[in-house]
A and B are shown apart, each in its own frame.
Chain A
Amino acid sequence: MKLFLQIVGLFALLLCVTLATLSLKHRGADGPSLLFPGGKLVSGELHQGADPDWSFTDQVGTIELETSDPVSSRRIFVMESGGKIYVGSAYMRSMLGRLWKDWAFDVEETGARDAVARIEGVRYERELIRVNDPKIIEGVARKSAMKYAGGATPEVVAQIMKQVADGDTWLFELAPRSR
């Protein structure tokens, strides 16, 4: 029994060391890692002018998204629908989600909606706008299912729409900045 507890204690210690080490390693870095947030997105050309045809993001698995209060960045799925791009934040009603997806709570609570998306090395200045329109959500859910869930079957699309409607997933448009 004592040995079992010692092994459990060692694993718990290594988990804490992992979280602390990787969190410190990436804090302030030019972009996030796979899981841990990074700092301000610095490198890469800053896009100027009209928005591109966002359909190219269909070939992009994840983008890097920087939020402004506090300044931090993370890797996130992206969905194009109707000529606009969207990002989602899932697990929003779970305790782990509240820890993991704190950026979305920060955007909603502080109102700091300015964001920078780095897509294939190009930075785009954007504004995060929460989406609640069912028609928009359906289009985004369809794209999300196609890209990330193996196909846009009616069941999967309906499940994603329900997650958004229930508040388990928050959806944001990466809109052009209004100022």
Chain B
Amino acid sequence: MSMSTYIKVCGGSAVIWALGLLLVPSFAQAVEGLLLMFLSTNAR
């Protein structure tokens, strides 16, 4: 993947991801659940 394409993919993904977190509560809760599981497992 060329650098310009990669940057476009990153930018687009970040915007869609952020909007999903802000506007879709169930998506945000699922992501938070995964983060919590990671922290509970690794914060030692």
Contacts and interface: CB of A to CB of B under 8 A. Distances in A.
A172 interface: no
Interface string A70-108: 000000000000000000001100101100100000000
Contact of A34 (B1, B14, B17, B29): B29
A42 interface: no
Interface in B16-44: 17-18, 21-22, 28-29, 31-33, 35-36, 39, 42-44
Contact of A35 (B10, B14, B21, B35): B35
B1 A97 contact: no
Contact of B21 (A3, A18, A97, A100): A18
Interface residues of B, number: 21
A33 interface: yes
A17 B17 contact: yes
Nearest to A95: B43
Interface of A: 2-3, 6, 9-10, 13-14, 17-18, 21-22, 25, 33-36, 90-91, 94, 96-97, 100
9 contacts: A13-B10, A13-B13, A14-B14, A18-B31, A21-B18, A34-B33, A34-B36, A36-B32, A94-B44
